[in-house]
Structures are given as structure tokens and as C-alpha cells.
Amino acid sequence: MSNDNLFAALRAAFPERLDAVAIETDSGLHYSWRDLDRATAMMANLLVSLKLPKGARIAVQVEKSVEAAMLYLATLRAGYVFLPLNTAYQSAEIDYFVGNAEPSVVVCSSKNLEWVSRIAKQAGTKHVFTLDDNRTGTLLAQAAKQSDRHKTAQKSPDDLAAILYTSGTTGRSKGAMLTHGNLLSNAVMLKDYWGWKEGDVLIHALPIFHVHGLFVALHGALINGSKMIWLGKFDPALVVRKLPEATVFMGVPTLYVRLLQ
């Protein structure tokens, strides 16, 4: 039986040489494709071990890191629904989103644990983990105890993969529901339309709580088996220095304006 889980398609696009560099960070760390496979398996196994209900939402408000991207992929791999939240949101916003989405798991930065966990518990969330951008936190500590092998959850194209809250209309933000089939078709279409080719390298300088950074950029590189130069935040000078090493760069108008200044 074919598996329409988005992660299955992304994993199938990994290069044959799993020891090749998949992600290079601005702090000098290198992650291989094998690292991505093993880490997402361990995180997925942790989520499965929690015995969450079918369709459980995993709400995440953390700083940008490779491990945060791995958590997204692990959520897909385990068959749950990813819910990214803007790192600028404060207690009032988080209270609304957590209360509205009713996630089974909330992952936040250590510095926000006290107030985020209070909101999560009040909303009925049973599991709260921390994840920081220096590769620490209770999520990684618990995932490290899990097996590095995981069978990707079986999904159909219409199964929910992620929820992104948007204020596209008047009133309070609404959760846009995105399916495995939706996200995969977008990734495949953009790979073809934009002409991604073997050997392309992406500079990833976007946040990963928005569609552009989490889906368009990340999926584009993964579905093409392309290396990423991972920047924790947008730094014009660093981007300019890294451009000769890359063939693909994505940004919003504000970023291009800053590059020209």
C-alpha cells in the first residue's frame, strides 16, 4: 500500500549518500541526511509513546533551530498535526490559540515554560516540553531515550498535516487546515516550476512559523534533496557572504530591501 504521508515523500527524496551534509548552520554545525532521519525517528517515537489520540495537534512556539524543523518533520512522520506559533506571541495570544486548537502537546522555550505550561494545563493539554535553539530542552532529553528507527505513519492525501493560524479576514485568527496532499502537491509543483536541480543549495533565512519558511523553503530543499545553509535569523551581511555558496535564496520584500541598504 502506498503511503501519502508528506514525510514519506520527503524521505524518499533524500540523496543516496546519507552521510552527505544536509544542513550547515551559521554556527558551524553540520547535519547529515542520516542525522535528519535518525533524529526525526527518535522524536516521532517519543510522540507515539505518549499515546496521543488520532489527529492530535502538536503546538510549537520556539526559536528557529534545526531541531525545531526536525520536530515538524517528526510530527508528520508520527502522523500527528503540526501547529507552529509565532515567537512574538504573548500570553493573551497563546491562551487563545491553545484554547482554540486544543493541542495534546505544547513545546515552548525554557524561558517561557512557566506561563506557557500554565495556559496549556488550563486548556487540558497533558504534555509540555521545552526546546531551545542551543540544542537543549526536555524534548531532546526525552527523545534521546527513544529508538532511532521509526515506521512512518500511514496517511491519505486528505489527512490533516498542519494548522496555521491566519488573520486573513476580519476578526480573530482562524486555523487554516493543510493536508498531506495539499503540501506535497505544492512542493512538487514549485520544484518543477522554479527549476530546482541536482546540486542546488538553499540559504534558509526565513522564520519557520510561517508558510514561506516552514513549507515553501523547507519542503523545496528536501523534496529536491538539496543542502541548506541554515541561518538562525536574517543577517544581511551574513547572507551576502554566503550567497556565493548557494544557488537558491528566498525572502520577503523586507529582506530584499535590507539587502540593498
Number of domains composing the chain: 1
Q: Which residue has the cell 538539496?
A: 226
Amino acid symbol at 257: V
* 188: in domain: yes
**Does residue 139 lie in a domain region?**
yes
Give this prediction's pTM: 0.96
Note the pLDDT of residue 168.
Answer: 60
C-alpha cell at 75: 510530527
Q: How many CB atoms lie within 10 A of CB 240?
A: 10
Q: Please tell me the predicted confidence (pLDDT) of residue 169.
A: 63
Q: Is residue 149 part of a domain?
A: yes
Q: What is the DSSP string of 203-233?
A: EE-S-SSSHIIIIIIHHHHHHTT-EEEE-SS
Range of the domain at 225: 6-260
Residue 76 lies in a domain: yes
Residue 148 grid cell: 532511532
pLDDT at 212: 96
Q: What is the 3-state secondary structure (H, E, C) of 47-93?
A: HHHCCCCCCCEEEEECCCCHHHHHHHHHHHHHCCEEEECCCCCCHHH
Determine the pLDDT at residue 124: 96
101 part of a folded domain: yes
The CATH number assigned to the domain holding 235 equals 3.40.50.12780
* Residue 146 DSSP SS3: coil
Instruction: Look at residue 241 in the predicted model and tell me its pLDDT.
Output: 96
Which pLDDT value is given to residue 14?
Answer: 98
Residue 154 falls within a domain, yes or no? Answer: yes
d(CA 40, CA 61): 18
Is residue 1 one of the residues assigned to a domain? no
Q: Quick one: what percent of the chain has pLDDT higher than 70?
A: 99
Tell me whether residue 215 is in a domain: yes
- Asked if 54 contacts 19 with a C-beta cutoff of 8 angstroms, the reply is no
Residues lower than pLDDT 50 in the chain = none
C-alpha cell at 241: 557572504
